[in-house]
Amino acid sequence: MQQIKKVVIAGGGTAGWLAAAALSKQLGPLVEISLVESDAIGTVGVGEATIPTILSFHQLLGISEAEFIRATQATFKLGIAFENWGDLGDRYIHSFGQVGKATWMGEFHHFWLRAKELGFGGGLGDYCYELQAAEQGKFATSEKSSINYAYHLDATRYAGFLRRQSEARGVKRVEGKITTVQQHPESGFITALTLDSGRQVEGDLFIDCTGFSGMLIEQTLGVGYEDWTHWLPTNSALAVQTESSAPAKPYTRAIAHEAGWRWQIPLQHRVGNGMVFCDHYQNAEQARSELLKSIDGRPLTEPRLIRYKTGRRHRVWEKNCIALGLSSGFLEPLESTSIHLIMIGLTRLMQMFPFSGISVPVLHRFNEQAREEMEKIRDFIILHYKATQREDTPFWKFCREMEVPDSLAQRIALFEESALVHRNADELFRVDSWVQVMLGQRIEPRAYHHMGRLMGKEQLRQALSSLKNSISTAIEKLPRHQDFIDRYCKADAPEVCR
């Protein structure tokens, strides 16, 4: 029960500097914080798309939105456009907005399903403000605005931005490569990190942000890894940056290909592109060739290959070590959840911080919450692969026919039978998210709640028409996404930003 006074963060990047920024802002006077990183070790650095939870976390850190956007060359994001997922030629948007208006009895899509049965109502996306704004390339926000959005950002610049904030609050950065991890001979607790210079960095609590290697949590403490590749079979990604060739769209593109999918993330001065694939069905050279043929704009970098194994550590808090980011596990970036998982882990840590020493019940509760969070997000991502009509390649045949976790199978069956979707209080993805993806991936419910029948046909038609028209009127008043960025938070030229 040694009191925690010194926190040592092993590794920089997004995870390390988010940890430094959050702890120094919220707990700064109570603990001494050091971060160890080496300039010689690169970071994965492709986590460039986020979800709306980043806004509240930035408020927690006291970050100015305009300053952050200029520093990271960020753009705004209203959702993700999924192309060729349900079947070749399909396209839908999973937006961040509310779809229609729900009642205490049920969600809006039950009204829409009734209208569809009667032969009117249009598409479900017609009733979502954020989705329609995304489709038309429009965006604006203000203190009075209720629009739901996130960001596309440059992950490397984001880490630099957070570093400046952290060091201004007293975080000490230690340059050096970690060579060994010292442990107490009896308890096994980590006591210090030894650097290649011979320097030792001692601490009471260690946060592992060393990436896939998990130098502390896995190589030293050996917690083990739960492999999920039988549900999420992709294991490789290629990332390349290109010049912008068109105004930035306010959404991410996720375009399915023969053995996975590729991303397109527009920033202010460039576009982030990547190819996610399973090397059992497509080798790296084939993926590289397909990626380079598919990109728009001149490449600014050589494609960089990243190998990974989808899954999670059996425990993310072991003894006096907590794993964050890639060291805690990996879910492919299909729904842009990697930065969120870092932030929710830090939020949980700050709420349960072991000032008086490591408590086993607290440790167990932390690990249980982390496991549940990861598994719920895992199921949502598996849904995109399982719910497909594609049989044009061996990869998609495998995905369509694979067994899925019981927790997901039950959700799919519930929606297929009755169009019902549930969400637990601590679950990340909302009912609207599940509905948009399930319908977008061609899951057609056999029945629905009959609350729509309580309205006459014309009354229902008028209600839906009124809602659709009010959204259209609001969208007309919005500026173009690129125009809003140029006026509100345009970044300096890349050379100046460096």
Query: So which residues are the catalytic ones?
Result: 77
Ranges of beta strands (E only) in 127-212 are 150-152, 172-175, 178-183, 190-195, 200-202, 205-208
Query: Within 13 Å of residue 360, how many CA atoms lie on the same side as its CB?
Result: 0
Task: Using alpha carbons, select from 44, 56, 48 the residue that is nearest to residue 330.
Answer: 44
Buried b (16+ CB within 10 A) or exposed e, 136-168: ebbbbbeeeeebbbbbbbbbbbbbbbbbebbbe
- d(CA 442, CA 375) in angstroms, rounded, equals 23
Q: Are strands 329-330 and 311-313 parallel, antiparallel or unpaired?
A: antiparallel
In angstroms, the CA 482 to CA 110 distance is 36
List beta partners, residue 253. Answer: 81, 264
Please identify which residue in the block is written with the tokens 């049920």: 106
| Beta-carbon count within 10 A of 345 CB | 27
Give the CA radius of gyration of the chain.
Answer: 23
Please classify residue 494 by burial: count the beta carbons closer than 10 Å to its beta carbon, then call 0-12 exposed, 13-18 middle and 19+ buried. Answer: middle
Dist. CA 446–CA 418, nearest whole Å: 6
C-alpha span between 206 and 396 (Å, rounded)? 42
